[in-house]
Amino acid sequence: MEMVIELCVRSSKAWNNIEKGLNDNISSSRVGKYFKLDEKKSCFTREFRAATTTFLAMAYVITVVSTLLSDTGGTCPTPSPSPSPEEPNMEYDNCISVVKSDLIVAISLAGMMGCFAMGLLANLPFGLAPGTGQTMYMAYNLVGIHGSGPMSYSNALGLWIVEALFFIAISATGLRAKLGRLIPPSVGLACAVGMGLFMAFIGLQSQQGVGLIGPDPSSIVRLLSLKSLTLWLGIVGFLIMSYGQAHEIKGSMIYGILFVTTISWFRGTSVTYFPKTVDGEARYKYFKKVVDFHKIKKIAGKISLTDFSKGTTWVSLFTLLYIDILATTGTLYTLAEIGGFINDKGSFENEYIAYLIDASVTVVGSALGVPPVATYTESSTGMKEGGRTGLTAVIIGIFFFLALFFAPLLINVPPWAIGPSLVMIGVIMMRVAKDIEWGNFKEAIPAFITIILMPFTNSIPNGIIGGLGVYVVLHFHEWIAWLVKSVLKPRKKKEIESDAIGADNTSEIP
């Protein structure tokens, strides 16, 4: 026993010596000096651990975003009505399968480039990828399920790229931070809560989620049969995520997805994703490749600007700008505060470059066929593990690069594995509701309107417009009073003083 203990102590000391030697060598190298490892009081192994933690926490974005966007049908032609509802449209289904593979590659590429840029240029430990809020807006408000929305996928990509150019302009001129401060805090917080409820609502549905609820002609939605085994498997996945979140286990969301997905990959069961059908056999055939580099075929470069002749497109453009200012600007500041990067002036190192990066990468992402790239709040998990420099972001980018080669696995994640993660995102986004001033009705009412309109009207813009409209009405009297007090009264005072001076001058005339 003593010999075993002694061997463990020796191996521990040997590993510590190897780790110290590795860290010292990298810190003194060009890489260490470039990322300022010593200056930031960090080291390579700590940055690697932080990057791994952050990637595990945000890796769900690859499967979640690709699943949500593939629901739109992408650039696939609108399917003609099937003679029988039970008969699948194989041509359309095959096209969507290609689109989903395209999206996995495009999301991984956008995440990789965003992380590399943030790490190499801004030296900040933030992970970037296409945003879930922007994805929800594109999938369910712009393009719609199977292209049923007011805009085609190609025109939505054109809208993203124009919005990104606007975003670059306001970032380059310094307006971005100022605009972010003009947003009413109550409405800004409510947007996060509303989008979280919207995501949770999608995650509970039958086609895109676990299958707990479905459409009902008499009451809009209804509770579906609880006998579905895939539903209960999805609930188990949600409980795994919940336990991990409650006990602060890093990567708990991806663990829940992996558990449900792995069980669903076994054939011959009631919950298999590869049933003995034509569609199931096609999925299984591609799944068996495991490793495969898929070339983007359907969505890259498919950009159209023809819808800019419509007034609704410009409304969508400014809605997108609002969402991005809320999401990315707010997230960057929050992460900078968590990392202790904020200085006495209220800014942080390379703030200007960080703003330009996510806006610029969005242009590239749109060209690849995905929504705007955003900084993810999950980066905070890596910073809690000690991530302090851009080396963390670069390593996250390397993980995204490796994901490029596992499209056969990622494309076959079932919806009942994705649904629980959408509900959990709703839980995470809900926590900011505590910061809303519920005791102040001038703040609480616009916030509540924003929150309820998003899921109930199936529209993010409706929530934003409704909340802002109510906020303006409730504060209009205050703004008028301020205008009178700060502009009109000083002018009246100056006129009285001018009249008094004129009277004095007149009295001096002989």
Structural domain spans, the chain: 34-79+88-494
Which of residues 324 and 363 earns the better pLDDT score? Answer: 363
The predicted structure's pLDDT at residue 334: 67
The whole-angstrom separation of Cα 302 and Cα 137 is: 19
Most confident listed range (66-80, 116-130, 308-322, 451-465):
116-130
Tokens representing 10? 């020796």
Find all residues with CB under 8 Å of 414, minimum gap 6, and list them: 230, 260, 261, 264, 273
Q: Whole-angstrom Cα distance, residue 269 to residue 167?
A: 49
| pLDDT at residue 474, as a whole number | 93
Angstrom distance (rounded) from CA 447 to CA 121:
37
**Would you call 272 exposed, middle or buried from its count of C-beta atoms within 10 A (0-12, 13-18, 19+)?**
middle
Q: Are 289 and 401 in contact (CB under 8 A)?
A: no
Percentage of the residues of the chain whose pLDDT score is greater than 90: 20
pLDDT at 510: 41
Q: How much is the pLDDT for 286?
A: 82
Question: How much is the pTM?
Answer: 0.72
Mean pLDDT of all residues in 159-175: 82
Choice among 1-5, 139-143, 171-175, 357-361 with the minimum mean pLDDT: 1-5
pLDDT of residue 489: 61
Identify the pLDDT of residue 11.
Answer: 54
If you average pLDDT over residues 355-375, what whole number do you get? 86
Structure confidence at residue 191 as a pLDDT band (50, 70, 90): confident
- Residue 245 is predicted with a pLDDT of 86
Find out whether 286 and 408 touch, Cβ atoms under 8 Å.
Answer: yes
pLDDT confidence of residue 9: 53
pLDDT greater than 60 at residue 332: yes
| CA distance linking residue 20 with residue 45, whole number of Å | 9
- pLDDT single digits (tens) 124-165: 999 999 887 778 878 888 888 888 888 889 988 888 888 888
pLDDT at 83 over 70: no
* Phi–psi pair at 52, nearest 5 degrees: -65, -45
CB 349 within 8 A of CB 280: no
Is pLDDT of 48 > 70?
yes
Q: How far apart are CA 127 and CA 57, in angstroms?
A: 10
Task: Fill in the DSSP letter of residue 81.
Answer: P
pLDDT at 420 > cutoff 50: yes
Predicted confidence band at 508 (pLDDT cuts at 50, 70, 90)? very low
- Integer Cα distance of 421 and 412 in angstroms: 16
pLDDT band at 242 (very low <50, low <70, confident <90, very high): very high
- The answer, yes or no, to whether residue 446 has pLDDT greater than 90, is yes
Count of positions (residues) in the chain:
510
Q: In this model, does residue 173 exceed pLDDT 60?
A: yes
Task: Name the amino acid, one letter, at 103.
Answer: L
Query: Which tens digits make up the pLDDT trace of 6-43?
Result: 555 555 566 677 778 888 888 888 988 999 988 888 89
CB 115 within 8 A of CB 394: yes
Phi and psi (nearest 5°) for 455? Answer: -75, -35
Measuring CA to CA, how many Å separate 238 from each of 183, 242, 260?
A: 34, 6, 9
CB 203 within 8 A of CB 67: no
* Whole-number pLDDT of residue 440: 94
Mean pLDDT value of segment 302-317: 83
**Alpha-carbon gap, residue 297 to 149, rounded angstroms:** 23
- d(C-alpha 142, C-alpha 136), whole Å: 9
Query: Residue 335 corresponds to which tokens in the numbers above?
Result: 């992460």
What pLDDT was estimated at residue 391? 94
Q: Provide, for the chain, the percentages of residues in helix, strand and coil under a 3-state DSSP scheme, each rounded to the nearest 5.
A: 70, 5, 25
Residue 205 has pLDDT above 60, yes or no: yes
Q: Do the Cβ atoms of 57 and 383 come closer than 8 Å? A: no
Output the six-digit token pair for 32.
Answer: 């260490």
